[in-house]
Amino acid sequence: MRRLTSILKVAAVMLSAVLVLLLLSGAYLFSISRTLPDVGAYPAHALAPRTSIVYAADGSVLAKWHGEQDRTYVSLDTIPVSMRSAVVAIEDERFYEHDGVDAEAIGRALHVNTQTGGYAQGGSTITQQVVKLLFTDGERSLERKIREALLAFELETRTSKDLVLETYLNLVYFGEGAYGVEAASQRYFGHPASELTLAESALLAGVVQAPSRYSPCVDPDAARERRDVVLRKMHELGMITSTERAEAASDPVELDPVVEPAEVAPHFVEYVKRTLIEELGADAVFGGGLRVYTTLDPRLQLAAERAAAEVLDRPDDPEVALVSLDHTSGEVLAMVGGRDFRAGQFNLAVQGRRQPGSAFKTFVLVAALEQGVKPTDRFSAAPYEVEVIDGIWKVQNYENSVTGGDLSLSAATNWSVNAVYARLIMRLGPEAVVDVAHRMGITSTLDPHPAIALGGLTTGVSPLEMASAYGTIAAEGMHVAPLAVVRVTDDAGQTVWEPDFAATRALDPGIAKTASAMLHDVVERGTGGAARLETWTAGKTGTNQQYRDAWFVGYSENVTTAVWVGHPEGQVPMTNVHGIRVTGGSYPAVIWKRYMTTAVPVHAGVAGQDAAEGAGASQREATICTESLALARPDCPQAVTVLLDADSVPGEYCPLPH
């Protein structure tokens, strides 16, 4: 009896110890469970960084953005069965049988590791590896393993085996900087994962355990041996036949990595990147798996780059910036931000703000038309002096080519006569010109000083702004802000961001059409002759003091393009470039014409000619002698073609004896 009592006491003590141990274990597990992350945020792939892809307007790839992990997410149904089976066979053969944790595999791993005296085999399931990649820090400890097991079990209660496997195949590292099966297939074989063969699938599955040791790029023999181990395991599990195994094992390890395409429009791509970082944040841009659909036309981009490189082809030549827009939609068609993106990533087309010279006179012209000034109104062309706030403003004409007499506004625009425009802005007020420029699309700060009439700005303007503003005239007074991105989706096709597209009425249509007709004359009869196309063309030259900046901005059909030539490092005079002084009517106009000769036929749409010439029944085009203001005869030395109200067209021809 005494012995039985002793046994019962011992049993009670042992039971109490077991209960205490269970309670402590339960409390421990409960405390860990309270710190577990919420796997309800599944699908889990959304938590992993994925590569973002940028597309041109024709669907070609412009760039891929990623941080440390290059990953493109693909759905399970696009991954061949051979790839899925190979990974399951070598990484977790009981994947479809366990509930996230495989006790049998853990026991087998403990037995093998005990025999070898080291870490020869792991017991983690594919689900646990997904959990480790997504929710834990990778630290090797008992607590971490317990957390993994709890999370793996919870994950499998919330989602399907297929989604777990899909996530794993998109998360795991395959070596050589490739994360996920799609990036790995492209990196090693140069084709998408959907085209993987059995031999390629087995090779990739074998890499996972030790990407450095089994990399086919580093050690093809080791990679082949490991591939054959995977094939043998697949055969043992009944996943493939003996014939399939033999045929796959006989394939040589041949790599054909995808060749990274040459950089296309790097300044444009960087412009898009900066825009999206501002809108969506850097994490989304570099790890959100975005699909960015842009407006860039690769054919026109190539034409723009060629035009700039062929005209100014010497190493010490000035730089060229070019921006081309569809002014009906605001879409950026082409962008050249400098000669060499690698040498300097500063984007001269967007970030460069330089003095526009006479190209800014267009805004004075529009302001004058809004205030009732007619193209035929005459102004003195003599050198001009006037007192302004900070002293006496002295204005000379371009190289003093015009020293006196009166000129019509049309003639003064054709030949960019400074004195006429200086007198004009004093009559209009610089505030009116600033208002017009901002309405038309200039976003830089403009100080209302009279000197802006001649392009004398405090900070300057960019080619992107100038193209946008001139596009407002071309579009009959409707302004659309420049648009480089059409839409952004995630890698599942859901829209993440779309820019606001809004056309606003900036100018009266009649004013815009009259201005267009006058800018057409600049090309036909004035300083812009080098830009003349076979189609209807309008534009304006601009040359800064001492030839430091030279511009041509113009449009034809539905394409508006701005070209700037200069030295980005400072205000360097361009007095001897290929033997000439650089004006807006020289190299900028030539580059503009070379590009537009390609761009206009390629990007045909709403005709700019219709926008300018279709002024309505109340207006018509007339060729006027600038000296008599009557209809010009063939022998009139200075004649301009302008759009006039029907009742303003002279009824007689010029009576002067030229």
Q: 556 catalytic, yes or no?
A: no
DSSP 263: P
Is the pLDDT at 577 greater than 90? The verdict is: yes
What is the average per-residue pLDDT within 425-448?
Answer: 96
Query: Distances in Å between the alpha carbon of 362 and those of 57, 69, 153, 249, 583?
Result: 31, 50, 71, 73, 17
**Per-residue pLDDT reduced to its tens digit, 200-247:** 999 999 999 999 899 999 899 999 999 999 999 999 999 999 999 999
Give pTM, 2 decimals: 0.77
Which stretch of 163-177, 520-534, 602-616, 637-651 has the lowest confidence by average pLDDT?
602-616
Is the pLDDT at 611 greater than 50? The verdict is: no
Using alpha carbons only, give the angle 537, 541, 544 rounded to the nearest 5 degrees: 170
Q: 91 catalytic, yes or no?
A: yes
Q: What is the mean pLDDT of the chain?
A: 84
In what helix (H) or strand (E) does residue 133 lie, and over which residues does it extend? Answer: helix 126-135
Residue 461 phi, psi (nearest 5): -135, 165
**Per-residue pLDDT reduced to its tens digit, 373-401:** 999 999 998 988 888 887 788 888 865 45
Cross-strand bridge partners of residue 485: 294
Is the pLDDT at 333 greater than 80? The verdict is: yes
Q: Is the dihedral of CA 190, 196, 198, 203 positive or negative?
A: positive
Domains of the chain in start order, with CATH, are 69-250 (1.10.3810.10), 360-442 (3.40.710.10), 616-658 (no CATH)
Question: CB-side exposure of 378: number of CA atoms within 13 Å?
Answer: 13
The active-site residue, picked from 82, 324, 358, 410, is 358
The active-site residue, picked from 52, 82, 91, 468, is 91
511: exposed, middle or buried (C-beta count within 10 Å: 0-12, 13-18, 19+)?
buried
Is the pLDDT at 487 greater than 80? The verdict is: yes
Q: What is the pLDDT of residue 166?
A: 92
Return the top range by mean pLDDT from 151-165, 225-239, 278-292.
225-239
What is the average per-residue pLDDT within 644-657?
Answer: 63
DSSP 319: E
> Strand, coil or helix: what is 331?
strand
Which stretch of 109-113, 271-275, 340-344, 559-563 has the lowest confidence by average pLDDT?
109-113
DSSP one-letter string for 504-573: EE-S-HHHHHHHHHHHHHHHHHSTTGGG--SS--EEEEEE-GGG-EEEEEEEETTEEEEEEEE-TTS---
| Beta strands at 384-388 and 391-395: parallel, antiparallel or unpaired | antiparallel
Nearest C-alpha neighbor of 502 from the set 487, 481, 485? 481
What is the average per-residue pLDDT within 419-441?
Answer: 96
What is the average per-residue pLDDT within 151-168?
Answer: 84
CB count within 10 Å of CB 605 equals 13
